[in-house]
Amino acid sequence: MTLDENWFSEPHQDIIGFSLRIREKLHEEQTPFQKIEIYDTVGFGKLMVIDGCVMLTDRDNFIYHEMMAHPVLFAHPAPKNVLIIGGGDCGTLREVLKHDCVRLATQVDIDERVTRLAEQYFPQLCDSNDDPRARLRFDDGIAHVKNAEPGSVDVIIVDSTDPVGPAEGLFSTAFYRDCLRALGRDGLLVQQSESPLLHADPIIRPMHDSLRAAGFADIRTIHFPQASYPSGWWTATIAAKDGRVGFHREQAAEALAFQTEYYNAAIHRAAGATPEFLRRKLQG
């Protein structure tokens, strides 16, 4: 929603909100799946909004995209085949393809218009769309995972919107069971899991419960700042098909072969620390 013609504001749970001063609205459209708006803001660059919720800004998207990609990829001993569900802005895909060990990265987003608008307004996020290892698919991610060949994927990244509308099924036990089947040995899943301050009970704890019910052997939630998301504190939850969620390629992370803006090995280790209030909730 907008406070007036000079501000975009996203209220949350009727208790907090995040606002950005805007110069102008650059685009608005209703797709078959969702409403997409693009703004030019003061200080945060371009802003993409989906169904009234901030999806990304020029200024801080690098934190989210790096933390959705690098911790899980460095936690896998040899990630070659990566599946991204959602992620239509292509920022996570770009980060995944910085890893030379990745041979195939398939991105499946139900709404092609998110990608086409990202190519127009956030071209820096789409630098890797023409990489020969990239496959862009515009389809139902839930169906794609269900139909995947068993054991064919090393890492699944669920870069989804909030668990409402088209994304609701991406937070279900049934979906996680299909992910478990699609993952090979040492397979890992990571999914954005919202704010621990605001969503520990409605989202993070039920996600842990559903992942366990689906058969995942170990689950760990990592933490990072995200100024433009509700509360400014965000998480991603990593689940291991077998064994523990570790840091298998720690040496490679210490000597990064590519440039990042937020992620490094120290951040990786620190992000896995769990605050006491969340630890108690997750232990039930």
Catalytic residue positions, numbered: 159
Query: Quick check: 245 and 208 in contact, CB under 8 A?
Result: no
Q: In CATH, what is the architecture of 7-57?
A: Roll (2.30)
Only one residue has tokens 């090393």, namely 154
Tens digits of residue pLDDT in 189-227: 999 999 999 999 999 999 999 999 999 999 999 999 999
Angle at 92 between CA 277 and CA 46, to 5 degrees: 95
CA–CA separation, 158 and 161 (whole Å): 9
- Per the annotation, where are the binding residues for spermidine? 65, 89, 159-162
Q: Where are the domains of the chain?
A: 7-57, 60-255+262-283
For the entire predicted model, the pTM comes to 0.96
Task: Inform me whether the pLDDT recorded for 65 exceeds 70.
Answer: yes
Q: How many CB atoms lie within 10 A of CB 193?
A: 24
In this predicted model, what pLDDT tens digit does every residue of 236-267 receive, in sequence order?
999 999 999 999 999 999 999 999 999 999 99
Is the per-residue pLDDT at 169 higher than 80?
yes
What pLDDT shows up at residue 83?
98
Radius of gyration for the alpha carbons in the chain, expressed in angstroms and rounded? 18
pLDDT by residue (tens digit) across 94-114? 999 999 999 999 999 999 999
Q: Which two tokens stand for residue 274?
A: 């769990």
Do the first three CATH levels of 7-57 and 60-255+262-283 match, i.e. the same topology?
Answer: no
pLDDT for 206: 96
Say which amino acid occupies 36.
I
CA 138 to chain centroid? 17
Binding residues for S-methyl-5'-thioadenosine: 34, 109, 140-141, 166
> CA–CA separation, 1 vs 17, rounded Å?
11
- Binding site: residue ranges? 34, 65, 89, 109, 140-141, 159-162, 166
pLDDT digits (tens, 9 = 90+) for 145-164: 999 999 999 999 999 877 76
The second-level CATH assignment, the architecture, of 60-255+262-283 is: 3-Layer(aba) Sandwich (3.40)
